[in-house]
Amino acid sequence: MTVKVPQQRQRAYQAQLRKVDALAISDANDRDLPSAFQELLKQAPSRADGVEVQLRMAFQLALAPDQENKRRAAALYQQIFLDQHVQPIQRVYAILGRLQLSEIIHDATLTQGLLSCANRLASSGDVRKRATTVNDAVQQLLEVADQLYPTALVKFQLASWYGERLMEGSVSTAEREASLRALQQNTQQGEALIPEALKYAVRWETVNLFWWDGRVRRLCAALTGETYEAAERAFERALYLMVLEPSDTLPAYDALVRVRLSFAAMLAEAYGVNRQQDIVHLLEPVCEVLIKSAGEPLLFNEWLRHPNDLLAADLTRLSALDPDFANALHRQQDATATRVKSQP
């Protein structure tokens, strides 16, 4: 009997897990998913399984259209990665989820919350010094993740952190060489870890992995004189993997916009009008999604609503090469501005 009870519990948990996975890609998920997650949490056979459920909950909350659910997602991610009893790899996933929210959602509470998180880690001994800026906090959280459990995704995001500072010109002359070295080393280490990541990555994690690979390879090419071929291969891999996933879901639309837009921006930077036909082809589905979702507070719309300097330059370059994209982007931005203005 002592053997059968855990087996029964595991079977019940796996059955509920399959139900939650089905709901997550269905039209009914907004209505039924929260209660399904709560039931799944009750049935989790172990603490680690329970944390896995919380990570899934946070991911779904982040996709929700309202800011309150995004703040709930941020709080859940923070609860997980600040808990030193949680498995290291799960703390890493929580850190990355929390950072993505602050990169995309320009909410003062979420952004300033990063400083608080980094400094709580400093108080617990996970980092050596307190962060004084949000940029410091992002770097410290990524370094903590790298120390906890080095993964390809963490390495790529560290590489991106150094590369974007270099592109923005916010690195002093004395720091430039070290930053370039950090960009290249983290990129190389990340690519060496891809085979390990692919053993465990599920669904959109694989697409996200190669999207980040393409982004950092593009930075390496722009800053070091490498060719853009490695970046193009990474983006092509991400596009191929997208075909294998359900296409009519929020994660699918988010990935479609991010991957295709980033790929097109890389081609525009590297080749300009010589690859204009490819750029227009990549952006056609993006235009459809932007027009269809104009004004809705979805992740990719929020990402485009407050672009940083590098993304803003990409959008300007792409708009000059593809008038249809320029029109779709303009409609999306107008609709978003109208929605934001109408909010209480």
pLDDT at 3: 39
Q: Give domain limits for the chain.
A: 36-149, 150-190+208-230, 245-344
Per-residue pLDDT of the chain (344 residues; tens, 9 = 90+): 343 446 766 677 777 777 666 666 554 455 566 677 777 778 788 888 889 888 988 888 887 767 788 888 899 999 999 998 999 999 999 999 999 888 776 667 777 778 888 878 766 665 566 777 888 888 999 999 999 999 999 999 999 999 999 999 988 888 999 999 999 999 999 999 999 999 887 768 899 999 999 999 999 999 999 999 999 999 999 999 988 877 777 778 888 999 999 999 999 999 999 999 999 999 999 999 999 887 676 777 777 877 888 999 999 999 999 999 999 999 988 887 777 666 65
pLDDT at 103: 76
pLDDT at 101: 83
Single-letter code of the amino acid located at 271: Y
Give the pTM. 0.87
What's the CATH number for 36-149? Answer: 1.25.40
pLDDT at 1: 37
